[in-house]
Structure formats: C-alpha cells, structure tokens
C-alpha cells in the first residue's frame, strides 16, 4: 500500500516534469525510491489525469490534478493532497 508521502513524492516528479520521456508507446517513466513509475498524462477540460503503474509490483495509480490539488487512487487506496505538498515531499 502506498503512503501519502510516497505518492506525493512520485507526483512531484511528474508535475515538475523531472521525468524523461520514454519511447515506449508515448509513456513516460522515472525512478523514485527504488520504484519505477510508467505513466501517461492526459489534459482534460479541468486539469490533467495521470495514469500508470509502479513497478516491480505493478501497482496501478490514477490521479487527477486540477486547481492545485491531486486526488485519485493508488493501489486501490484513495489519495488527496495539494500539488505544493507533493513538491515538498520529493525532497524527503
């Protein structure tokens, strides 16, 4: 199960665009605390949707980013926090 800080750190890397693009079907990827996140980002009318999986355990996550807030699920667990909290968590 992912903790809020773990998910926040991962989202921070995504939101900050620190992850290089992968040639694998338009998906992006980055590694954080020993896990590799493979995801795509879709723009919507109200913000962005970040969907993907964390490996090696293939845990799925689906997050919506809008109005400075992140909400969604990671590993079936609801998560919600401010984008600014995610940026701060990446350095922990």
Q: What is the number of structural domains in the chain?
A: 1
Residue-range definition of the domain harbouring residue 62: 4-89
Q: Does pLDDT of 4 surpass 60?
A: no
pTM of the model: 0.67
Tell me the C-alpha distance between 5 and 52, whole Å: 18
CA distance 67 to 82: 9
* Token pair of 85 as six digits: 């909290």
pLDDT in tens, 5-60: 456 556 655 555 434 444 456 789 988 888 898 999 999 999 999 999 999 999 99
Q: What is the pLDDT of residues 55-85, one digit of tens each?
A: 999 999 999 999 999 999 988 999 999 988 8
Classify each residue of 2-32 as buried b or exposed e, where b means 16 or more C-beta atoms within 10 Å of its C-beta. Answer: beebbbbbbbbbbbeeebeeeeeeebbebeb
Residue 79 and residue 70: Cα distance in Å, rounded? 8
């Amino acid at each position: 199960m992912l903790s809020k800080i773990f998910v926040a750190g991962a989202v921070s890397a995504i939101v900050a665009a620190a992850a290089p693009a992968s040639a694998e079907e338009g998906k992006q990827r980055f590694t954080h605390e020993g896990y590799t996140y493979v995801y795509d980002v879709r723009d919507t009318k109200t913000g962005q949707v970040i969907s993907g999986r964390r490996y090696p355990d293939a845990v799925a996550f689906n997050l919506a980013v809008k109005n400075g807030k992140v909400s969604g699920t990671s590993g079936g667990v609801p998560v919600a926090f401010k984008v600014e909290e995610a940026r701060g968590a990446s350095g922990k």
